[in-house]
Structure 1
């Protein structure tokens, strides 16, 4: 990790803060272990219990597998068997043995059989982390995920990911999404580390150039989320469903923070690989972060980052989601490492102070996933506490270098 400027005291150098992050990460892991189901991992309620009708989901299974793999690499006992369970689920009941790719749920539990890039990016990420963790079956899962991504989703012509298909891959959705391409960028950074193939860094740069340097930069560095097949923005997409959990109307400050961090990881990874690295990567990361803070934080009379904004940068959905604040802390840490500037130290502390006060649930475990505009717990968008991935990564990222993906960085440190 780059040394932070010695002109000011940084939490990134503080043994106390390091210990706090590690303790919080282990607390999150302990809570999430209860999500195990016979066919993968399910969604926990507010008290950390699986509902009687809980069903394994591919998104949660992949995210849990990735998280437990990182924990195992980091020397946390009790996680190896959970990684193996996730690999078995992704290679078994969650996989389409007939047509290839992955369902959102086991076939017998869902009428929806389509294949989407968002889920497949997480399968690839989980497999890559499991390979770094040296778990049995991980390499075969990784090779399967790479084959599906390159053969079905990656568009060389567009330099980006196609969005979704029906089960047999015949019909493609007339949509392109920034969210699925963002998580594909994350997965590609991990794939570059695990495979040693720098083409994944070129693919990641191609996505970032289109979604961020072309479209977001042309929109005051506010991320445009929804596009046609020809990559034309759809500004009124889901205007009648503004609080959608994956495709909300307008722009999402949380994604701007997430993109800012990924852009910095890409810059560092390309420099390490001695690849051409555009100077605009740092500037775009700065601007994404700056405007997410300006228009998202404390903009409606109460602290916290609102979920969505309209095209005039006014809040639309004023709820505060836990993943947004986890990503904001991680992005500020990344910018602090990259620039050594006091402003990012200040933001880093601000975001953690808010999350510790408002989101971390010391009584019932994990983090409250959602707060209403008055910063009271709610479940209008996300019910329960199904997500380990965002908060757990936020406890790891500040302690790791920018130039490697998380699992590889943890393994290199061990």
Structure 2
């Protein structure tokens, strides 16, 4: 797939401009003057649900505004970040359970008041709470360092499983753990710990990130054996029982669950590749790079749609594609991983993957009329939903990919003139 003319996807100017252009879809229409931001948008920017607010979207609005502020220095983005941050703490942090650090998963917001719709405690949500505070601290909110420490302590007290060296996934409002264990919460907790260390320099965060990475990418990935997963040996599976044995059937027949899908997620293999190299830059270990290369290489080899372009969503253990949809976040995390690998190794094959994925996204995912990225496409790249952003999206992954590549390019500038 040829790169569009006069576009250099590797240039800082392009990436910075795309960050601004993507955020322009949300600003100022997303801002709710009564508190926080709206979370549900149609393709043309229409807000189709003004009341429902999701913890993941709330935290990700903090992160995206912090990224824009750090990239541009423009005060309006810091103001948007503070607006999102205040809403996170006033609307989602349980006033009864405040000392225990409990955050609601879903609320109804009306007339300036929050009514909790789902008070389940999710480690996945707590990971993004920590990420939001880490990024806010970096972006000039000094009190966020203490909020980060409090959230970390909450995760350690209620979710941490010392014998497994990983976090449990879900608890009732009074902190009784369910039996489900998942890699996704641990992956995003690792992401949060990397950012927490970058922001504060506190070693406990990066040491926990390394422990999480080892637990998932080495020990748990080793459970994907040739006998059980002939096409995905050593890949990261999503779902586990309470003893961290593999649950091969969890959500097998439910394709509607956006946070816990069945199958090997192509995008999670590449996302781990990116995180391993970001971790390695801060706490080097010999196993990081070869594991990142293996996960990325296998994922793009098996996950790329040679007919229509783009990376598939889900793969079964036997190598068959169990979900052939094209999801925005899979493409975004994969192009970021390709860039980080290219910078680290100097291998031009990774830049070629980066350009290939970006060209595909530019043609099919970027909405050149209204802005931002489409959420999900049919295998043949038709847009099958009018929802541009539902719970959790807010273009966090694609803006984050631009931000990650910009940070990588600070260490190794490159442009197409030297490709």
**Which deviates the most, 159-168 or 44-53?**
44-53
State the TM-score, normalized to the length of structure 1.
0.87
Within the candidate set 249, 266, 271, 1:258 is matched to: 271
Taking the aligned partners of 2:318 and 2:42, their CA distance within structure 1 comes to 36
**Equivalent-residue separation in structure 2 for 1:154 and 1:76 (angstroms):** 38
Change (3 A) 1:217 1:302: farther
The aligned counterpart of 1:35 is: 30
Q: CA deviation at 1:94?
A: 0.9
Alpha-carbon distance in structure 2 between the residues aligned to 1:209 and 1:381: 37
Q: What residue number does 2:414 align with?
A: none
Question: Partners of 1:307 and 1:381 in 2: how far apart?
Answer: 18
Q: Is the 8 A contact 2:69 2:78 kept in 1?
A: yes
| Mapped partners of 2:199, 2:137: distance in 1 | 8
**Contact 1:71 1:79 (C-alpha < 8 Å) held by counterparts:** yes
SS of equivalent residue, structure 1 residue 51:
strand
CA contact (8 A) 1:243 1:317 kept: no
Distance 1:200 1:328 in 2: 25
**In 1: Cα distance, 2:9 partner to 2:376 partner:** 30
**1:54: how far off?**
3.5
Q: CA deviation at 1:395?
A: 1.3
Q: Distance in 1 between matches of 2:13 and 2:119?
A: 44
User: Would you say the 8 A contact 1:55–1:109 is kept in 2?
Assistant: no
Q: For residue 289 of structure 1, give the secondary structure of its aligned residue in structure 2.
A: helix
How many residues are paired up? 383
1:388 Cα deviation (Å)?
2.1
Matches within 5 A, 1:314-393: 314-379=320-385, 386-393=393-400
Please point out which of 185, 188, 193 is paired with 1:188: 193
Query: With structure 2 as the length reference, what TM-score do the two structures score?
Result: 0.86
The structure carrying a bigger strand percent of its residues is 2
Residue 395 to residue 110, structure 1, CA distance change in 2 (3 Å):
same
Instruction: Report which stretch shifted further, 322-331 or 66-75.
Output: 66-75
Q: How far apart, in 2, do the equivalents of 1:355 and 1:259 lie? A: 21
1:130 Cα deviation (Å)?
Answer: 0.6
The equivalent of 1:409 in structure 2 is none
Q: Which residue of 2 aligns with 1:290?
A: 297
Q: Which residue of 2 aligns with 1:223?
A: 236
Equivalent residues in 2 for 1:74-153, closer than 5 Å: 74=71, 75-99=73-97, 100-106=101-107, 108-135=114-141, 137-153=143-159
* Contact preservation (8 Å) 1:192, 1:198: yes
Helix, strand or coil at the partner of 1:172: coil
Local SS of the residue matching 1:400: helix
SS of match in other structure, 2:106? coil
State the shift of 1:264 in Å. Answer: 0.8
- Residues 1:49 and 2:46 are matched in the alignment: yes
Aligned to 2:19: 25
Deviations 1:268-316 (A, max 9, x none): 1103xxxxx2x221111011001111111115x3211111011111111
Equivalent-residue separation in structure 2 for 1:233 and 1:373 (angstroms): 29
Q: Whole-Å Cα distance in 1 between the matches of residues 10 and 407 of structure 2?
A: 16
Q: Which runs of 5+ in 1 are unaligned?
A: 1-13, 272-276, 405-414
Partner of 1:68: 65
Q: Which residue is 2:210 aligned to?
A: 205
Flag structure 2 segments of 5+ consecutive residues without an equivalent.
Answer: 1-7, 109-113, 225-232, 412-419
Q: Tell me the residue number matched to 1:408.
A: none
Structure 1 pair 30–214 and aligned structure 2 pair: CA distance change class (3 A): same
- Cα RMSD (Å) of the superposition? 2.2
